[in-house]
Structure formats: structure tokens, C-alpha cells
Amino acid sequence: MKQDILVLSPLEERQMGDLDKRYHLLRADLVKDNDGFIEKNAKDCRAVISTGNIVFDKNLISKLPQVGLVACVTAGFDQVNLKDLKDHKIRLTNTPDVLTDDVADVALMLMLAARRRLVFGDHYVRSGEWAKKGPMALTETTAGKRAGVVGLGRIGHAIAKRFESCGLAIGYYGRHKKPDVAYQFFPSLVELAKWSDILVVAVTGGKETEKLISKEVIAALGNRGSLINISRGTVIDEDAMIKALQSKELETAGLDVYLNEPNINPAFYKLENVVLYPHHGSGTVETRDRMSDLVVENIDAFFADKPLPSEVKL
């Protein structure tokens, strides 16, 4: 008899087909009444496919008395209540590492697009303004500037390497100074922002990092600074950032993440000094395929009572 797997968020088509051959998939992702579907169908399910953006806490766990694994198809798991999982002896997996390069590429893309005004320049050409008005206004060079990385983990390291190739000096902020890293360490986030021309945010989401990039940090970055965020929208005081962009107290921003996605603050639509990307840092065919593969590997290992390839230690 096939084991039940509750699907709150689907994998890529190939991996869903692969799972469907060996397991009984409960497709909650395809119905409108999610709660009703779960209560009616998922009492025997032992594994759940989800994402870090779906709330998974004791309320949901109460409807899943047999669940033993939450397999996230994302690297982040900010909306998963780790204490509730631990209390109920539920294991958690995610998909780290496989998305590092693509997310770091997007950080580089956003930084260059924001500072060199790519979106404005594209419009300047397409609208015919170039022909009418002549060359667009000058932008600032990147080489020789300073980039502060907030969170020098796997993705932060990959971003730093890419930024170095553009001739940027690198500094970083984190919980602790890393003994094997040559970049300049700043124990104060405000001091890092003061030092930086570009501040890129690469920390995890969740309560611990909520509004970590505060009004004070944004002010310290200043009116010639660029703020790049590829982590989570919650990490930045979004209202303070918008006001700073509107008043030009912050020169530019490049954003892949926001509060209330995809229904973001409409104030962003009117800002010419921000580059907007639709939370698509890992959005390549190759990376999403590898992420889905890793979820399947974790599920197979769980049901085979083998070590989980990417278990999150609770």
C-alpha cells in the first residue's frame, strides 16, 4: 500500500510524476478549501511537501497526527515553527546549497542594474528619449567602491566573490567573526553601513532578523548608497526604505523580496531608483530541478529509515 504524502506546494513536473508512481499524493495545492481537504484526507499522511513561506505550526500539526517529516522545497523555512516540530518529533528538511549560485547571480544583477540604472536606461532607449534628449545622465562606477555583506553564509560568500570580481572591497557583518575569512569584519551593522557604498542582505528570515536593516542602518548607508536584498522582505524596515528612496536619502535599491508578496506596496511602482525582481533568485530550470530532486531524496530516505540528505537540526 502506498504511503500518503500531503502536497502543500508542488515540485517540478518530473519529480511529481516520479513521486506519484511510488506514493499516494494528496494534492492540497490544487484545492480552494485547503483546511477542509487536510481534515478529510490527511490523517494518515506521514510526510508533507511544503515551502518556508507556508505557516507550519501546532494548528496544522493537530490535523496531521501521523506526520513525521516536513520536506521544504525551499532553503528558507521562516514560517515553520521549529519548536512545534521538535515538540511533536517531526523532522524537517530543506534545499540548501543547490540555489547558492543562482541567488548570488541575482544579487550581482540587481546591484549593477540599480547602480547603472539599467531599467531607466532601457526605457530611455525604447521611449525615443535618447534620440530626442541626447545621452542620459551619468551614473557612478562600481570598481573601487565598498560592499558590505550582511550574513556571510554560503550565499553571502558567493555574493562577495562575485562583487570582488567587479573591483569592490568587501566587509561583512554577522553573529561572529569568521576565523578563516580575510574580509573586514564589523561587529556593528550601523558601522558596516557607514563604511559601505553598497549593502547587500543575505541573512535568513524569521523573528530573529525582522527589521534588522532598520531606519538607522538605512540612514547610515546614506544618499549615495545602494541597498540590495535577496533574503526576505521582513529583514528590512520596508516603510523606512521606501521613504528614504522617495526622499533620495537612499540613492538606489535592488530588491528580489518584499513584504506581502506578491501584493507589494504600490509605492514601489512609482520609484525610478529601485530595481524590482519577483522573488525569483532561484528561478532557473536547473536549480528548481535540483531543489525538487533533493526533496524526493529526503522523502525516499525518510520512508526507507535512512539518514536524510539535508535535515535541519532542531
Q: What is the pLDDT of residue 1?
A: 84
| Residue 139's pLDDT band (cuts 50, 70, 90) | very high
**In the annotation, is 27 catalytic?**
no
Q: What is the pLDDT of residue 261?
A: 94
Spot the catalytic one: 91, 117, 279, 288.
279
Same domain, 126 and 12: no
Q: Which residues are within 8 A (CB) of 25 and not within 5 positions of it... i.e. 6 or more apart?
A: 5, 7, 16, 19
- What does the mean pLDDT of the chain come to? 97
**In the annotation, is 232 catalytic?**
yes
Same domain, 86 and 111: no
Same domain, 132 and 256: yes
Same domain, 110 and 84: no
Burial 37-76 (b: 16+ CB within 10 A, else e): bbeebbeebbbbbbbbbbebeeebbeebeebebbbbbbbb
What is d(CA 270, CA 12) in angstroms, rounded to the nearest whole number? 35
Beta carbons within 10 angstroms of residue 215's beta carbon: 14
Owner of C-alpha cell 540528505: 309
- pTM confidence score: 0.93
Same domain, 162 and 261: yes
**In the annotation, is 129 catalytic?**
no
What is d(CA 301, CA 178) in angstroms, rounded to the nearest whole number? 33
Same domain, 110 and 248: yes
Domain count, the chain: 2
Cell of 152: 556571510
Query: Which pLDDT tens digit goes with each residue over 57-86?
Result: 999 999 999 999 999 999 999 999 999 999
Same domain, 289 and 165: no
Same domain, 104 and 244: yes
Spot the catalytic one: 115, 157, 162, 232.
232
Quick one: how far is CA 151 from the chain centroid? 13
Same domain, 151 and 259: yes
For residue 217, pLDDT over 90 is answered with: yes
Domain CATH for 175: 3.40.50.720
Spot the catalytic one: 129, 261, 272, 286.
261
What is d(CA 299, CA 49) in angstroms, rounded to the nearest whole number? 9
For residue 234, pLDDT over 90 is answered with: yes
**Which candidate, 310, 139, 307, 114, places its Cα nearest to that of 228?**
114
Same domain, 129 and 263: yes
Same domain, 161 and 269: yes
Q: What are the DSSP calls for 133-191, one per residue?
A: H-SPPP----TT-EEEEE--SHHHHHHHHHHHHTT-EEEEE-SS--TT--SEE-S-HHH
Per DSSP bridges, beta strands 91-93 and 146-150 are: unpaired
Same domain, 260 and 206: yes
For residue 112, pLDDT over 90 is answered with: yes
CA Rg, the chain, in Å?
A: 22
**Domain that residue 103 falls in:** 99-276
Identify whether 10 is preceded by a cis peptide bond (ω within 30 of 0). no
Query: Which pLDDT tens digit goes with each residue over 253-290?
Result: 999 999 999 999 999 999 999 999 999 999 999 999 99
